[in-house]
Amino acid sequence: AQSVAQPEDQVNVAEGNPLTVKCTYSVSGNPYLFWYVQYPNRGLQFLLKYITGDNLVKGSYGFEAEFNKSQTSFHLKKPSALVSDSALYFCAVRPSSNTGKLIFGQGTTLQVKP
The footprint of other proteins (CB under 8 A) covers 32, 34, 36, 41-46, 49, 51, 90, 92, 94, 96-102, 104-107
Kindly tell me which of 1 and 114 has the beta carbon lying closer to other proteins: 1
Q: Taking the C-alpha atoms of 15, 45, 1 and 110 in order, what is their torsion angle to the nearest 10 degrees?
A: 20
Smallest separation (angstroms) from other proteins to the CB of 12: 18
Kindly tell me which of 38 and 86 has the beta carbon lying closer to other proteins: 38
Beta bridge partners of 64: 58, 77
- What is the rounded CA–CA span in Å between residue 92 and residue 94? 7
Kindly tell me which of 82 and 104 has the beta carbon lying closer to other proteins: 104
- What is the rounded CA–CA span in Å between residue 20 and residue 113? 15
